[in-house]
Amino acid sequence: MESAQRVIEESFNVRYSCWVREALDELPESFVITDPCICGHPIVYASSGFLKMFGYSKNEVVGKNGRVFQGPKTNRRSVMEIREAIREERGIQISLLNYRKDGTPFWMLFHMCPVFSMEDGRVVHFVGVQVPIFSRWRLSGHQSFSNFFEEGSGIRDAAYRCCRREVSSESVKTLTRTLAQDSVVVSDGSELEVEENCEASEIEKRKSTTAISIILSVLTHYSELTGKLACGKRCLTPGMVTLNAALNMSLGRIKQSFVLTDPCLPDMPIVYASDAFLRLTGYARHEVLGRNCRFLSGPDTDPLTGFLIKESIESERACTVRILNYRKEETSFWNYLHISPVRNASAKIAYFVGVQINDLCADQNKRELRPEMRHLSTVAAIKVAVRGLSMISTS
């Protein structure tokens, strides 16, 4: 649990200066920031406006996937459109029915956009803004919602009935607005039903676009202070290859320790490192990406083992070795390492995968699968993810 919390905190702490949270906390908009590189694509930041709108505390939201706010009447097609936008690493603006913590459904305009790293062009975060769409309710079996607000009936009448003592007309207006915005059931038992299709107004669309622009400006500014510039547009230099966000999320579901390296780039750098790999070696993700795997070698690592690995890569075949590697704090461990080429749907080698098993832990955990089987099952899962994405991309 602590390691998961540490990974979520690093999502922000590595890229932005320590003042970014304070700056974001001052924004009144409802929004969340998610990290597709972490397993489950969790929320790593939730604004106070979001927490107020949905009725959750920060601890109940951070670390969760955005689907927890969906419910029985959330349009599945809209959800699929959002997932498709994530897969294609593009923005989307769509009306969506979500649910508050107390189960109350409400329409909102969901505006999402990716945040790119200027270093390697990959998606590091997604920003999701929620703009509530009011006056889209209707009263089940009664008059329209606009008529429901007429004096002496509906919510206004219910507000008066709820008062046990005389209150000012201004207080009644405040209570009326609260009931209108935060409830779908009124005190006379009538229920407010949601429209099947709800379109946001141009004003609400402009509001979400402005909010996205402001949030991106804040993230860009505070990333400049760390030298790890983030922005709302992908800027790729010639020869730069980046891992798709959808592939990142698919790989994040694999629990084994492994890395992916790109043979098309100079020195075959690591382009993906699993959470289990980071726990095994003690490195943070930003300390691993872009480096060759030999940084794990140390003074007592056998050079012959490194030569065998290099030979298998050059001949494009799999190999399994037992190699002495070193963690960040310089402690050594025996790594039962399996390396295999990963081909895309066109049968071309897209990556090499290196699956690591701590030899000591493998001997102690007798109830687990044999190391060889764990190697093969991990490689198979990675191949399915890579080929599946490449088939979708070329279709």
pLDDT in tens, 346-376: 889 999 999 999 876 544 455 566 888 999 9
Question: Minimal CA–CA distance to 116: which of 259, 19, 219, 261?
Answer: 219
Integer angstrom CA distances of residue 30 from 46, 47, 78: 8, 6, 20
pLDDT at 193 > cutoff 80: no
Instruction: For CATH 3.30.450.20, list the domain ranges present in the chain.
Output: 2-135+197-231, 254-394
Question: Minimal CA–CA distance to 133: which of 167, 160, 108?
Answer: 108
Fold (CATH) for 2-135+197-231 = Beta-Lactamase (3.30.450)
Q: What is the pLDDT of residue 1?
A: 57
Instruction: Judge: domain 254-394, CATH 1.20.1440.120.
Output: no
C-alpha triplet 86, 196, 98: angle, nearest 5°:
50
DSSP string, 155-213: HHHHHHHH-SS---HHHHHHHHHHHHHH-SB-TTS-BEEEPSS----HHHHHHHHHHHH
pLDDT in tens, 103-158: 999 999 999 999 998 877 788 899 999 999 975 444 444 444 444 344 444 444 44
- 387: confidence class by pLDDT, cuts 50, 70, 90: confident
